[in-house]
Amino acid sequence: MARRKALFWHERNRDNRVQCDLCPHGCRIKEGEVGLCRVRKNEGGELYTLNYGEIGAIAIDPVEKKPLYHFFPGRNILSVGTTGCNLACGFCQNYSLAHGTPPTSYASPKQLVATAVEVREQGSLGLAYTYSEPGMWYEYVLDTARLAHCQGLKNVLVTNGYIEEEPLRELLPYIDAMNIDLKAFNESFYRHTCRGRLAPVMRTIELCREQTHVEVTTLLVPGLNDSPGEIEKLATWLASLDPNLVLHLSRYHPAYRFRLPPTPVESLAAAREIARRFLNYVYVGNIGGFDNNTRCPSCGNVLIRRDGYLTSITGEKDGHCSACGAVVAYKA
């Protein structure tokens, strides 16, 4: 792994311990040990990031796969990820990358941006930092995102939102869109299933939606975070921020340490109907058979038609619904 001095930490002045200030865990790390994320290490009383420039996954994906449905629909984006995550979700869908030790290859920020510029000729928007937790790739994402913006590329962050406010504010000017995981809307789920807390993620969503394009994803795990009451609370809170905030309800599949059966189709449909009482744009992912077209909230006209990842803009003209003239709530 590539070693680089980390940002956002301070000395504890005891036995060479340091405290990481990147995320709400605030890990107090002894010399020679790593934090909960496994990629930030105390070496000689200083904190180092171990995954700088180490790429464990790279692909050109539809932007809808992030998922982002209201950000340049129908476009592709060069997507990269690394090892490490600061949550410990028992159902992790990307556990081999987030919690494993897959092979990686090094690319400097300059090299990665050069690749992104090359694939722009194929219609790629820019770079998406995704697959595991890009917050734990912080120094590399920050350096790369700055360079990418200088080249006119878009930067997308797909994140669990578990990050402190100061590093987040430093990164946000270079981020054009985010999909933030809201794992659940109850504290018990975050503490016992993910080893985290709900409040920091709520704060991240509140802060980010004021400065960049934000969509939210909730993976519905049967019996744990999919009750009608919880879905209503989640949707009500998001709507209090903005009723046009996009919510993706995603189907859980057994993975990592969880062996519960997949989310029933009926639960997904019921959750969508509840959320739609409060939010204008609610989609269902990780499963086929649902109508995920984007419709005008005013008249119901289809604005964006989707068939899987095949996307076409059909009912929009100059930023307005072609049928009723209402303002369209997406970026293109």
The residues of the chain that CATH labels 3.20.20.70 are: 54-292
Say if residue 14's pLDDT is above 90.
no
Say if residue 195's pLDDT is above 60.
yes
How many whole angstroms separate alpha carbon 287 and alpha carbon 158? 20
- Residue 318's pLDDT band (boundaries 50, 70, 90)? confident
Instruction: Please tell me the predicted confidence (pLDDT) of residue 332.
Output: 80
Instruction: Please tell me the predicted confidence (pLDDT) of residue 157.
Output: 99
How many whole angstroms separate alpha carbon 320 and alpha carbon 327? 4
How many whole angstroms separate alpha carbon 171 and alpha carbon 143? 9
Instruction: Please tell me the predicted confidence (pLDDT) of residue 3.
Output: 83
Region label for 126, one of left (φ > 0), alpha (ψ between -120 and 50) or beta (otherwise): left
| Range 81-105 average pLDDT | 92
Residue 221, SS3 per DSSP: coil
| Range 154-173 average pLDDT | 99
Instruction: Please tell me the predicted confidence (pLDDT) of residue 83.
Output: 95
Give the mean pLDDT of the chain: 96
The per-residue pLDDT for range 248-297, each reduced to its tens digit, is: 999 999 999 999 999 999 999 999 999 999 999 999 999 999 999 999 99
The secondary structure of 36-78 as a DSSP string is TTSSEEEETTEEEES-TTEESEEEEEEGGGTT-SSBSTT-EEE
- HEC string for 95-136: HHHHCCCCCCEECCHHHHHHHHHHHHHHCEEEEEECCCCHHH
Residue range 54-292 forms a domain whose CATH class is alpha beta
Residue 82, SS3 per DSSP: coil
| Range 224-238 average pLDDT | 98
What is residue 181's DSSP assignment?
Answer: E
- Residue 1's pLDDT band (boundaries 50, 70, 90)? low
Contact 109, 147 (CB under 8 A): yes
Say if residue 247's pLDDT is above 90.
yes
Instruction: Please tell me the predicted confidence (pLDDT) of residue 136.
Output: 97
How many whole angstroms separate alpha carbon 41 and alpha carbon 34? 4
Using CA atoms in the order 106, 86, 199, 245, what is the torsion angle rounded to 10 degrees?
40
How many whole angstroms separate alpha carbon 141 and alpha carbon 49? 12
How many whole angstroms separate alpha carbon 67 and alpha carbon 53? 24
How many whole angstroms separate alpha carbon 280 and alpha carbon 263? 23
How many whole angstroms separate alpha carbon 284 and alpha carbon 272? 7
| Range 39-62 average pLDDT | 97
How many whole angstroms separate alpha carbon 99 and alpha carbon 101? 7
Instruction: Please tell me the predicted confidence (pLDDT) of residue 324.
Output: 97
How many whole angstroms separate alpha carbon 278 and alpha carbon 228? 13
